[in-house]
């Protein structure tokens, strides 16, 4: 893995003080959409890290009112992990990845000449990994999204909408209880739930549209033909030998456009 830690990290630190109650620390994580905050000591120096996993202890141990009260009295300083695990900004991405794997860390505080300047998390390294280009981009299998967001037929659409928003996905594949594909819910389908009625109480199976399927070895041209002919924005990629099995992936119109925009594609030469 190439690249320097300083280029991959999230610059800046979200901090709280040692005496911040756990409830407030949780709010800080949500507000800044981060998974950990740096806990500063009384002199404002980073002393430890409080992650969302650490905060789980609040729910985990609040089995009765007495325990809940004890946990509510705890602060970020009580629950943080210390000392901070740091890495220099000049270190390579592979060095950071190796250290995370070896020492079981999920994030490292990045230092520049000894001063904390940012946070490098597993997600940052994963995002870096995702930027690598596949060797071949000719078929549906080459450009489809292999990871798919799924829900069951009975999933409430409110949950579907929440998950799509949080995961930043534009569609959800609907499976039956045995994992067979039954349809797709897209943002378009969810518009019907905003008509002022009780649409948000509906289930996925009530708003989904039928899945249009394609083989993984099909060309991008075939995929584009199919989308245009049916006016579909996404195709469900299935294993032709096992069409009822969990699909191999999803191909969206955006995936094809991304391929067109890729430097070196036939559209850019």
| Contact status: 122 vs other proteins (CB under 8 A) | no
Structure tokens at 83: 């000392």
Nearest to residue 216, comparing CAs of 241, 233, 239? 239
Instruction: Find the shortest distance in angstroms from Cβ 120 to other proteins.
Output: 19
> Quick count: other Cβ atoms within 10 Å of Cβ 169?
19
**Structural contact between residues 216 and 139, judged by C-beta atoms closer than 8 angstroms:** yes
Q: How far is the CB of 70 from other proteins (least distance, A)?
A: 5
Counting contacts by CB under 8 A, is residue 78 touching other proteins?
yes
The dihedral built from the CA positions of residue 102, 105, 107 and 110, taken in this order, carries a sign that is negative
Residue 27 contacts by C-beta under 8 Å, 6 or more apart in sequence?
A: none
* Options 81, 85, 213, 253; binder of other proteins; rule CB under 8 A: 81
Compute the distance between CA of residue 35 and CA of residue 16 in angstroms, rounded to an integer. Answer: 13
User: Which distant-in-sequence residues (6+ apart) come within 8 Å of 200 by Cβ?
Assistant: 156, 157, 158, 161, 193
Q: Pick from 8, 25, 79, 184: which binds other proteins (CB under 8 A)?
A: 79
Shorter beta-carbon distance to other proteins: residue 65 or 114 = 65
Binding mask 11-30 toward other proteins (x if CB under 8 A, else -) reads --------------------
Q: Which of residues 85-104 bind other proteins (CB under 8 A)?
A: 104
- Per-residue mark of binding to other proteins, 34-53 (x: CB under 8 A): -------------------x
Shortest distance in whole angstroms from residue 22 CB to other proteins: 11
> Is residue 66 within the footprint of other proteins (CB under 8 A)?
yes
Q: Pick from 27, 30, 70, 260 the residue near other proteins by CB under 8 A.
A: 70
Q: How far is CA 147 from CA 129, 165, 218, 247, in A?
A: 15, 16, 19, 10
Binding site for other proteins (CB under 8 A): 53-54, 56-57, 61, 66-67, 70-71, 73-74, 78-81, 104
């Amino acid at each position: 893995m190439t690249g320097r830690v300083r280029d991959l990290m999230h610059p800046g630190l979200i901090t709280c003080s040692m005496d911040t109650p756990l409830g407030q620390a949780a709010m800080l994580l949500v507000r800044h959409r981060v998974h950990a905050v740096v806990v500063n000591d009384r002199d404002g120096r980073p002393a430890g890290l409080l992650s969302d996993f650490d905060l789980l202890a609040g729910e985990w141990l609040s089995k009765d009112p007495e325990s809940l009260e004890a946990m509510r009295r705890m602060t970020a300083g009580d629950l943080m992990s210390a000392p901070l695990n740091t890495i220099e900004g000049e270190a390579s991405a592979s060095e950071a990845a190796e250290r995370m794997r070896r020492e079981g860390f999920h994030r490292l505080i990045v230092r520049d000449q000894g001063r904390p300047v940012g946070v490098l998390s597993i997600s940052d390294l994963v995002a870096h990994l995702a930027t690598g280009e596949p060797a071949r981009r000719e078929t549906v299998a080459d450009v489809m999204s292999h990871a798919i967001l799924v829900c069951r037929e009975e999933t409430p659409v409110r949950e579907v909408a929440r998950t799509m928003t949080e995961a930043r996905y534009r569609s959800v594949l609907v499976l039956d209880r045995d994992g067979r594909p039954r349809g797709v819910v897209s943002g378009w389908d969810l518009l019907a739930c905003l008509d002022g009625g009780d649409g948000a109480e509906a289930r996925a199976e009530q708003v989904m549209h039928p899945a249009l399927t394609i083989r993984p070895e099909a060309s991008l041209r075939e995929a584009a033909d199919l989308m245009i002919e049916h006016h579909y924005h996404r195709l469900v990629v299935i294993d032709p030998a096992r069409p009822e099995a969990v699909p191999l992936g999803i191909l969206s119109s955006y995936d094809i456009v991304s391929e067109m925009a890729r430097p070196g594609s036939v559209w850019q030469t």
